[in-house]
Amino acid sequence: MKRNIFIITILLALLSVSCEDYLDVNTDPNNPEAVTPDLVLPVGLWYTADYIQQDRGLNHLGNMMMFSWGESQGYSWYDEEFKYLVTTTFYDQMFDDAYTRGLKQYQVLAELEEEEYGYYRAMGEIMKAYHFQILVDLYGDIPYSEALLRGGNAQPAYDGAQAVYADLLVKLTAAIDMIKAADEYAGSVLPEEDDFIFGGEMTDWIKFANTIKVRILARLSDVDAATVTSEMAAITAEGSGFITNDVIIQPGYLVEENKQNPFWNELGTDVGGTQTLSYKATCATQFILDYLADINDPRISLLFEEPATGHLGVDQGADNNDPALAPDYVSNIGPGILKSATMGSIIFSLAESNFNQAELAQKGFGGDPESLFNAGIIASCNYLGVDAAETEAYLAQSTQNVNFANSANPLEAIMTQKWLAGIGITAEQAWFDYVRTGYPVGLPVSTQASTSDRPVRLFYPASEITTNGNNVPAQPNAFTSKIFWAN
C-alpha cells in the first residue's frame, strides 16, 4: 500500500508541474505520453475518494442539508450552510472538481483504443456514470455529451437531465459488455494493485455497475416505470447481481502529511494526533440524537461520540454561546465513522444498495422489500461496528420505521432507515431522497434559515458562468426548482 500512495503522490506532482507548462504548444499537459492506464486509474480513484469525503465534500454537504451535524460552542464554522446561502460559490467544488479531476482521468481510460485495455475502458465508463449521476442530482441539466473533450470543445453544451440518466444506463450496460469481451480476449491487461476498489476482480465491477443502475432506477421509479421494469429485467438476465460489500477506495492511506484518509484529515486528528478544528467544531444536532434515542438505535454512540456527561447536541443555527456546549461536552463525530487515519474512503455503501433494492421491490419491481430493508439495517450496523445481538434486538422492536411489518408506510420506513444509514458516510443520498420523496418527515430546518425548507439543488458555479456562459441554463430557484425525478 505504501507503494501505491507513493505512486499517487508522484503522479499528482507531475500533473501539477504539467499545468505550469501549458504554454508549450508541442505538449498536451492533459495527456502525457508516458502515462499508462495503470497510472491513470489510481489518480482518478484518489480524486473520487476526495470528492465524496474531503473537507466540504459531498458527504459533508449531505450531513448539513439533512440536519445531522451542528456546531459546538466557540465556533462559527458553518454560517453559509446554516443560512442556506446557495450562491454561485456555495460548494462550487462539487461541479468544478468533478469535471477537472476525476472525470478527466476516467475519460482518458474510456478513450483507450488498444484491445488489451478493455477492462480499463469499462472501469472508466463505470466511474464516469457514477460521477455524472451525482452531477445530475445536484444540478439537473449538465455538460455531458460535449464534456471532457479538453481542447476539442472548451464550451460544451448542456444536456437535459433525464436524457443524461437514460444514456448512463446505456453506458453502464456497454461497460458490462466490455468486461465480458475482455474476459474472452487472451491479451487483456488485468488491473491489479492499481485498482484501489476491487483489486482487479472484474465480476465485482460488473456488480458495481448494476448497483449504480439501481440507484438510477430508484430515482426514476416514480417518473419512468417502463424503464425501471425493462432495466430490472435486464439486470436479472445478466445475472451477476449487486455489490455484497461496501465500495471503499483504499490507496494505502498513511499517517503522513497529505496522505491521511480525507474524512479523517478533516474531522479527526492531524498527523501528530491533535484533534482538528473541524472535529471540535462539528457535533450532532440535538434533533438527531433525540431521534436515535427515541427508537433505541444502537448506532447512536458509533455515529456520535458520547461524552462522560452524556449525549448532547446543538441544533443548526441555534445559539451555541453557552460554555456547556463546548467541544468536550457535546457529541462530536463518532468512532464508527472516524475509524482511523488509514481507513478506506467509502463511496457507495452496501446499506444503500439494499435500501435502493427495497424501494424498487416495494413498488412492485421485483424482490422482497422486507428482507432487503432488514439487510440494509444489518449492513449499516456492520459497517459501524454494532454487536450482532444488538442489531437483532433493534430489528425485533415493534417501532415504526424500524420494524418493517409494523410500519404504516413501508416507503417511509425505507427512506428513514436509508437516511440513518448514510449519516456521516454518504449523507448526500438522503438529501436527494428527501427532495424526491419528502422522507424522513419532520426534518427541521436551521433556525437561521429564511425559508421554510432546505435547498433542493445547487447553483451552477461562477467558474462555469464565466467560462461557458453562453451555454449555462438560467439559474434555477435553489429552493423550489426540483430535479426532474422529483417532479
Which tens digits make up the pLDDT trace of 395-441? 999 999 999 999 999 999 999 999 999 999 999 999 999 999 999 99
Angle between helices 225-238 and 202-220 (to 10 degrees): 160
Please report the pLDDT score of residue 22 as a whole number: 25
State mean pLDDT over 56-63: 97
Please report the pLDDT score of residue 153 as a whole number: 84
Which sign does the torsion angle of CA 221, 248, 430, 165 carry?
negative
Higher-confidence residue of 165 and 9: namely: 165
Higher-confidence residue of 417 and 12: namely: 417
Query: What are the beta bridge partners of residue 248?
Result: 346
pLDDT surpasses 60 at 33: no
277 touches 34 (CB < 8 A):
no
Please report the pLDDT score of residue 8 as a whole number: 63
Q: Would you report the helix, strand and coil content of the chain in percent, each value rounded to 5?
A: 50, 5, 45
DSSP state of 304: B
Please report the pLDDT score of residue 151 as a whole number: 72
Q: What does each C-alpha distance from 423 to 107, 192, 359 come to in angstroms?
A: 31, 32, 19
Contacts of 366 (CB under 8 A, 6+ apart): 232, 236, 360
- pTM of the full predicted structure? 0.95
State mean pLDDT over 5-26: 44
Buried/exposed code over 282-291 (b: 16+ C-beta within 10 A; e: otherwise): bbbbbbbbeb
Query: What are the beta bridge partners of residue 69?
Result: 284
pLDDT surpasses 80 at 4: no
Please report the pLDDT score of residue 23 as a whole number: 24
Residue 26: band (very low, low, confident or very high) from pLDDT cuts 50, 70, 90: very low
Which sign does the torsion angle of CA 95, 100, 101, 102 carry?
positive
Higher-confidence residue of 20 and 268: namely: 268
What's the chain's Rg over C-alpha atoms?
A: 22
User: Is 2-75+85-254+342-445+454-486 assigned to CATH 1.25.40.390?
Assistant: yes
Query: What are the beta bridge partners of residue 104?
Result: none
pLDDT surpasses 50 at 28: no
Express as a percent the part of the chain with pLDDT over 90. Answer: 91
Stretch among 6-20, 81-95, 123-137, 386-400 having the lowest mean pLDDT: 6-20
Domain extents for the chain?
Answer: 2-75+85-254+342-445+454-486
Q: What does each C-alpha distance from 482 to 68, 141, 190, 454 come to in angstroms?
A: 22, 11, 42, 12
Please report the pLDDT score of residue 14 as a whole number: 45
CA 369 – CA 69 distance, rounded (Å): 30
CA angle 420, 425, 427 (to 5 degrees): 60
- Which residue intervals of 363-461 are DSSP H helices? 369-384, 388-396, 410-422, 428-437
State mean pLDDT over 146-172: 94
| Residue-averaged pLDDT of the chain | 94
State mean pLDDT over 99-116: 97
State mean pLDDT over 136-142: 98
State mean pLDDT over 311-328: 97
Tell me which residue has cell 420505521.
Answer: 401
Cell of 352: 444503500
CA 129 – CA 172 distance, rounded (Å): 7
Q: Which of 425, 424, 444 lies closest to 434, judged by CA?
A: 444
pLDDT surpasses 70 at 21: no
> In what helix (H) or strand (E) does residue 36 lie, and over which residues does it extend?
none
Please report the pLDDT score of residue 150 as a whole number: 72
**Per-residue pLDDT tens over the stretch 183-230:** 999 999 999 999 999 999 999 999 999 999 999 999 999 999 999 999
The single-letter code of the amino acid at 81 is E
Please report the pLDDT score of residue 7 as a whole number: 57
CA angle 384, 274, 45 (to 5 degrees): 55
State mean pLDDT over 43-54: 98
φ, ψ for residue 413, nearest 5 deg: -60, -45
Please report the pLDDT score of residue 5 as a whole number: 65
